[in-house]
């Protein structure tokens, strides 16, 4: 199924303007009720606001307000383009210029996720956003989307859910820099790439902490007799220049972009993993999937 098959002139709003996120959502729901006979607009409005309270759907000039409603039997979609932008309380603090609102019954959750992926493909490119902003009539938007031939799949793949903004390091990155990256980006896991951008391992908080404990201490059953950490600080100091490639964990799960998320979830459960890495056909890292990402998609869509 092509994205263009779901987009008609009737659900494209040009020159959209609103004072804030809440008023924008109210206006969009009202438009869906008027143009597409959306049932229970009040319930839809409440569900959309509740979803936004959990986490803003705005980032990168784009917002994806969405919700699942038991009262619906089919999917409802609206695309609004705002040249001036709307204050959406976006994750990156920027105004959003593109809003694609999706409402669906729980039975169409996979379609909702794949719609998000399709719109992300459409709107992640600056050149495409510029063309859409210059549209004079809704037909221009429909024709342009049709020319791109973007697919909306039926199966949810790793590429539909993964995060693409991955913080990574090289094999020769010193441990000290890795630790600094942990604190700077508020993470405790960093994938390690070779010179070609292929993922070869990871450094986590586990590898860093383990450096502070000589091998013989790990043979003990209990360390409660040692109440201070000072004896191990020297180990960290000594190893801060150690390249990531020497301490990284190489036994990591890596999947292709076209692997269904059901298999990703299976890997996480089977191997007790928080993260699974995603590669393209050449082996280069293109994304990362976390347990939180999967749960968020399952629960919130």
Q: Does residue 207 lie in a domain region?
A: yes
Instruction: State which residues form the domain around 283.
Output: 169-300
Q: Does residue 162 lie in a domain region?
A: no
Q: Residue 191: CB partners within 8 Å, gap ≥ 6?
A: 166, 168, 169, 199, 201, 202, 252, 277, 285, 288
Q: Does residue 79 lie in a domain region?
A: yes
Q: Does residue 10 lie in a domain region?
A: yes
Q: Does residue 13 lie in a domain region?
A: yes
Read off the tokens for 125. 């490119």
* pLDDT string in tens for the chain (301-residue length): 789 888 999 999 999 999 999 999 999 999 999 999 999 999 999 999 999 998 899 999 999 999 999 999 889 999 999 999 999 999 889 999 999 999 999 888 888 888 888 998 899 899 999 999 999 999 999 999 999 999 887 677 888 788 888 999 999 999 989 999 999 999 999 999 999 999 999 999 988 887 766 665 666 677 665 555 555 566 667 778 899 999 999 999 999 988 888 899 999 999 999 999 999 989 999 999 999 888 876 666 5
Q: What are the φ/ψ torsions at residue 164 (nearest 5 degrees)?
A: -95, -20
Whether residue 213 sits in one domain with residue 77: no
Q: Does residue 163 lie in a domain region?
A: no
Which of 153, 178, 197 is the endpoint of a domain?
153
Which of 104, 122, 153 is the endpoint of a domain?
153
CATH number, domain of 25, equals 3.40.930.10
Which of 121, 153, 185 is the endpoint of a domain?
153
Predicted local confidence at residue 214, as pLDDT: 63
In angstroms, the CA 47 to CA 53 distance is 10
Give, for 278, the enclosing helix (H) or strand (E). Answer: strand 275-279
Predicted local confidence at residue 208, as pLDDT: 85
Whether residue 81 sits in one domain with residue 125: yes
Name 288's bridge partners.
163, 277
Whether residue 131 sits in one domain with residue 35: yes
Predicted local confidence at residue 296, as pLDDT: 75
Predicted local confidence at residue 1, as pLDDT: 79
In the 8-state DSSP scheme, what is residue 7? -
Q: Does residue 159 lie in a domain region?
A: no
Whether residue 194 sits in one domain with residue 104: no
Whether residue 8 sits in one domain with residue 89: yes
Read off the tokens for 276. 């699974």
Q: What is the b/e burial string over 12-30, where b = at least 16 CB atoms within 10 angstroms of the residue's CB? A: bbbebebeebeebbebbbe
> CA dihedral defined by 210, 211, 214, 219, rounded to 10 degrees?
10
Query: Is the Cβ–Cβ distance between 66 and 75 less than 8 Å?
Result: no
Whether residue 187 sits in one domain with residue 61: no
Whether residue 145 sits in one domain with residue 115: yes
CATH number, domain of 250, equals 3.10.580.10
Whether residue 218 sits in one domain with residue 103: no
SS3 11: helix
Whether residue 137 sits in one domain with residue 98: yes
Whether residue 226 sits in one domain with residue 96: no
Q: Does residue 245 lie in a domain region?
A: yes
**Counted domains in the chain:** 2
Query: Is the Cβ–Cβ distance between 265 and 294 less than 8 Å?
Result: yes
């Amino acid at each position: 199924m092509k994205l263009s098959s779901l987009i008609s002139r009737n659900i494209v709003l040009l020159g959209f303007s609103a004072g804030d996120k809440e008023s924008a959502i109210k206006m969009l729901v009202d438009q869906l009720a008027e143009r597409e006979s959306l049932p229970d607009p009040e319930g839809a409005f409440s569900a959309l606001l509740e979803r936004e309270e959990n986490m803003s759907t705005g980032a990168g000039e784009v917002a994806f307000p969405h919700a699942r409603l038991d009262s619906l039997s089919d999917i409802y979609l609206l695309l609004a383009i705002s040249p001036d932008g709307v204050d959406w309380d976006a994750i990156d603090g920027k105004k959003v210029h593109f809003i694609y609102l999706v409402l669906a019954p729980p039975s169409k959750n996979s379609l909702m996720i794949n719609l998000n992926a399709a719109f992300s493909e459409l709107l992640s490119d600056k050149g495409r956003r510029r063309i859409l902003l210059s549209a004079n009539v809704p037909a221009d938007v429909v024709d342009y989307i049709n020319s791109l031939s973007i697919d909306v799949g039926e199966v949810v793949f790793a590429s539909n859910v993964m995060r693409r903004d991955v913080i990574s390091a090289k094999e020769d990155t010193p441990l000290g820099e890795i630790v600094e990256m942990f604190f700077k980006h508020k993470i405790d896991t960093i994938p390690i790439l070779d010179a070609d951008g292929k993922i070869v391992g990871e450094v986590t908080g586990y590898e860093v902490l383990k450096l502070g404990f000589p091998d013989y201490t790990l043979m003990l059953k209990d360390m409660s007799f040692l109440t201070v950490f000072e004896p191990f600080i020297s180990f960290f100091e000594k190893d801060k220049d150690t390249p990531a490639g020497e301490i990284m964990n190489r036994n990591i799960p890596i999947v292709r972009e076209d692997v269904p998320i059901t298999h990703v979830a299976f890997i996480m459960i089977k191997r007790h993993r928080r993260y699974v890495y995603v590669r393209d056909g050449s082996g280069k890292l293109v994304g990362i999937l976390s347990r939180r990402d999967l749960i968020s998609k399952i629960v919130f869509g």
